[in-house]
Amino acid sequence: MNPHDHKGYRSAFASGLFAGRVVVVTGGGSGIGRCTAHELASLGAHVVLIGRNLAKLQDVAGEIVADGGRASFHACDIRQEDAVRTVVTAIVGAHGRIDGLVNNAGGQYITPLENISAKGWQAVVDTNLTGGFLMARECYVQSMQAHGGAIVNIIADIWGSMPGMGHSGAARAGMVSFTETAAMEWARSGVRVNAVAPGYIASSGMDHYPAEAGPMLREMRETVPAGRFGNEAETSGAIVYLLSPVASFISGTVLRVDGARPQVRMGWGQVAAPVDVQTRDAVKPFDGFHRYVTPKVFQE
C-alpha cells in the first residue's frame, strides 16, 4: 500500500524511508504509540509493539497489517528488569537487530503532592523513568552497541513544573537527563538518543482521566498560543524525524511539540490565537493519521 494514499497513513516523509528497519515502540497499543507505529510501518519499518495489554497490541498489529504494513507484538511490563531483558532477547532473536526504539510507554494520575503515597510515587517513576531506562539499556547492550541505532524517549511538557502531577514531572525531568547522558556515553557505538516532549495533545490517553477532569481538559487549549490542542500525527512526525537519517547529527536534545505553550506567563492576558489563524498553512493541524479518533472528552 502506498503510504501517501488517502486511505492509508498520510506521512510527510518519503515512502520506504525505514524499509528493512526494525523499530520497537513501547506503549504501542494506544494513543501516540499507536499512531507512531502506524506511521513507521507505512514508511516500511517492521514495528514491534510492546505493552501490558496483549489484546490492544494485537488490535493495533492487525490494523497495521490490514493497511499493508508489518508488525509483531510482545506483552511486557517494562518496569520488570527480567521481563525487559527477555523480550529484547526475543526481538533480536527474531529479527537479528533493533534499529530504533521509541520509549513511549508511560502514565500518571492527577493528585497534589501532599496526597501522593510512596507507592504511588514509585509506580509513576518506575513507569515513566525506570522502564524507559531498562528498555534503552537492553536495546543498546543486545543490539545497538554492535550495530548502532536511534532512540527517542517520550517525555512531557515539564517546563515550569507540572502542578497536580509532580510524580510524573520528576520522572520526565529525569528522562531528560538520562537522554543527555546516554547520548554522550553511547555515541561511540553510533547510537543517537533524543527526546520528544508533547504538550497538550488530543490523544486517547486523555480519556483515562476521571470525568470531573473533563472541563479542565477542554479549557486547556485557551492557554496555548496556537489556540488548539496538537494531535497524535503531529507528535509522531517529530518522533519519526528524530529516528530518520536526516537527524544523523542530532543527539542529546529535546524536541518540543507544544504550540509554544511553555512561553506563556501570567498577566499576558488573552493567549490563544483567533480560530481563523489555524487555517494558515504554517500552523493548521496536520491530520495524517487515517485511523485517528477524537478523544471522548472532546466529543461532548
Per residue of the chain (300 residues), what is the pLDDT tens digit? 333 444 799 999 999 999 999 999 999 999 999 999 999 999 999 999 999 999 999 999 999 999 999 999 999 999 999 999 999 999 999 999 999 999 999 888 888 999 999 999 999 999 999 999 999 999 999 999 999 999 999 999 988 888 888 899 999 999 999 999 999 999 999 999 999 999 999 887 766 666 766 777 777 878 888 888 999 999 999 999 999 999 999 999 999 999 998 888 755 666 776 777 777 888 888 888 999 888 877 775
Contact in structure between 165 and 173 (CB atoms under 8 Å): no
Identify whether 6 is part of a domain.
no
pLDDT at 46: 98
Identify whether 2 is part of a domain.
no
Q: What are the angstrom distances between the C-alpha of 241 and each of 25, 148, 168, 196, 287? A: 15, 17, 25, 10, 17
H helix intervals, the chain: 31-42, 54-66, 81-95, 118-125, 131-139, 145-147, 166-186, 214-219, 232-243
Contact in structure between 110 and 165 (CB atoms under 8 Å): yes
Cell 493528585 locates to 111
**Domain containing 171: what range?**
22-298
Q: What is the pTM assigned to this prediction? A: 0.91
Total structural domains within the chain: 1
pLDDT at 270: 62
Amino acid, res. 213: A
pLDDT at 228: 87
Q: What is the domain-level CATH number for residue 289?
A: 3.40.50.720
Q: Provide φ and ψ at 90, rounded to 5°.
A: -65, -40
Identify whether 231 is part of a domain.
yes
Identify whether 115 is part of a domain.
yes
pLDDT at 4: 40
Identify whether 138 is part of a domain.
yes
pLDDT at 266: 59
Identify whether 5 is part of a domain.
no
Identify whether 8 is part of a domain.
no
